[in-house]
Amino acid sequence: MMSQPPLFSPWRLRGASIRNRVALSPMCMYCARDGLVSDFHMSHYAGFAMGGTGLVWLEATAIRPEGRISNGCLGIWDEAQLPGLTRLATHIASFGAVPGIQLNHAGRKAAAKPAWAGGAPLTPVTLADGERLWQPIGPSDVPFAEGWQTPRAMSLDDIAALRSDFVAAAQRAVRAGFKMIELHFAHGYLIQSFLSPLANHRTDAYGGSLENRMRLAAEIAGDVREAMPAEIPLVARISATDWIEGGWTLDDSLVLARLLKGAGVDMLDVSSGGNMVQGVANSALTQRSGYQTDFAHQIRTATGLPVQTVGLIRSAAFANQLLEDGKADMVALGRQMLFNPRWAAHAFQELAAPGDFSGWPAPYGWWLEKWSRSLARKGESPFHRELEDDPRRPN
């Protein structure tokens, strides 16, 4: 057995015992009806749990119907959504993964088509059968981009109601059996639009200075922390930068990180961008594997808060190196996991213990153990492509 690579060292955060440092990054599937868990979600999320992932984050799950990005988002605003969520959390946990959930209000980016249907804002003309169109809300009446609805600027009463809806959603998530809760404070959705001066033009206690723009995020984090059992870790996903001159910056994120730590956040999940279309083009210039990891590392170093890093991470060796270099505590993968839901189990074979299938579901593991032993006797492995040394292989 090789020495234990950091990617496979178990970790405990409050009461959550995570078997390794691999997380499924939250990814909207846009295929729920009325916010309800479907058979698709059961198979989709089980795949990652069976595939050895330590922490399985559910996609952005709306705390209110109007907080959905699209009509297909999962929801947690209604008791009727609890049985499905409970089944899903239980199912994920049954394969040894920690089930986590990301709570979201989409703010001014709400009422859009699913990403795979173009992601454009819904209009009365583009409304499909069964879809609903609604009025988005935001810190100010500034739309996300041209063609998007102008959000209604939130009143102080709206803000108070939003805070209690986040708490109610978190309490439901705990009742459903989720063992970690992530607040979505990134990507231009409601809370990040309060943080960024590009979207927040308020002149009251929730706008203007950095301190005022951070107020809502800190209040929600504090409210949720207070309402949750001590054993459940609270995580916040932030956009470390807007990637736009005059927008939210890494320095702002460092201040926010300290504030959220004080409010009881246990880990930051560090992403970036999403607040303005222009930021997408700017960030694309710098995108390479781990392009957001330096933000996470700086936050970790400056604040001592554990961090989850994400962004174009693909290989096991690279993910492991990030941990070995002390850049992060958890490594999350998005698209690479869609490509290969058993990424973590394969990484274990590659980095930790080739031929050890004890972490796989028993009905597979028994067979695969024997199979890999017989391959090894021929000097081969499950990763070996037989045609590679076949003389008949076409050039």
Ligand X SMILES: Cc1cc2nc3c(=O)[nH]c(=O)nc-3n(C[C@H](O)[C@H](O)[C@H](O)COP(=O)(O)O)c2cc1C
Quick one: which of 66, 74, 65 has its CA closest to 30? 74
Residue number, 344 or 360, with CB nearest to ligand X: 344
311 binds ligand X (CB under 6 A): yes
DSSP string, 78-128: SGGGHHHHHHHHHHHHHTTPEEEEEEE--GGG-SB--GGGT-PBP-TTTPP
Catalytic residue among 45, 189, 291, 364: 189
CA dihedral (151, 113, 165, 331) positive or negative: negative
**Terminal alpha carbon distance of the chain:** 37
DSSP string, 176-199: HT-SEEEEEE-TTSHHHHHH-TTT
Out of 49, 85, 195, 313, which residue is the one contacting ligand X (CB under 6 A)? 313
Residue number, 235 or 352, with CB nearest to ligand X: 235
Binding-site size for ligand X (CB under 6 A) equals 20
Out of 140, 192, 271, 372, which residue is the one contacting ligand X (CB under 6 A)? 271
CB atoms closer than 10 angstroms to residue 383: 10
333 binds ligand X (CB under 6 A): yes
Residue number, 116 or 367, with CB nearest to ligand X: 116
* Binding characters for ligand X, 48-77, by CB under 6 A (x = yes): -----------xx-----------------
Q: Which residues on adjacent β-strands are paired with residue 11?
A: 18
- Give me the least distance between CB of 355 and ligand X, in Å please: 28
Binding segment for ligand X (CB under 6 A), chosen from 33-41, 42-50, 320-328, 329-337, is 329-337
Residue number, 28 or 268, with CB nearest to ligand X: 28
Q: Which residues on adjacent β-strands are paired with residue 268?
A: 236, 307
Angstrom distance (rounded) from CA 137 to CA 336: 33
DSSP string, 245-299: TTS--HHHHHHHHHHHHHTT--EEEEE---SSHHHHHHHHTT--TTTTHHHHHHH
230 three-state secondary structure: coil
Residue number, 115 or 127, with CB nearest to ligand X: 115
Out of 18, 21, 25, 360, which residue is the one contacting ligand X (CB under 6 A)? 25
Footprint on residues 108-147 left by ligand X (CB under 6 A): none
Binding segment for ligand X (CB under 6 A), chosen from 21-29, 132-140, 199-207, 224-232, is 21-29
Q: Which helix (H) or strand (E) holds 11?
A: strand 11-13
- Give me the least distance between CB of 140 and ligand X, in Å please: 23
335 binds ligand X (CB under 6 A): yes
Out of 64, 113, 225, 237, which residue is the one contacting ligand X (CB under 6 A)? 237
Counting every residue written for the chain, the total comes to: 395
Q: Answer yes or no: 189 catalytic.
A: yes
Six-digit token string for 358: 């004890």
Residue number, 102 or 293, with CB nearest to ligand X: 102
Out of 255, 312, 353, 368, which residue is the one contacting ligand X (CB under 6 A)? 312
Residue sitting closest to ligand X (CB): 334
238 three-state secondary structure: strand
26 binds ligand X (CB under 6 A): yes
21 binds ligand X (CB under 6 A): no
Angstrom distance (rounded) from CA 191 to CA 224: 14
- Give me the least distance between CB of 144 and ligand X, in Å please: 16
Angstrom distance (rounded) from CA 237 to CA 55: 15
Residue number, 159 or 236, with CB nearest to ligand X: 236
Query: Is 68 within 8 Å of 35 (Cβ atoms)?
Result: yes
44 binds ligand X (CB under 6 A): no
DSSP string, 314-335: --HHHHHHHHHTTS-SEEEESH
- Give me the least distance between CB of 334 and ligand X, in Å please: 3
* Binding characters for ligand X, 91-110, by CB under 6 A (x = yes): -----------x--------
Q: List the catalytic residues.
A: 189
Interface with ligand X by CB under 6 A: which residues?
25-28, 59-60, 102, 184, 186-187, 237, 271, 310-313, 333-336
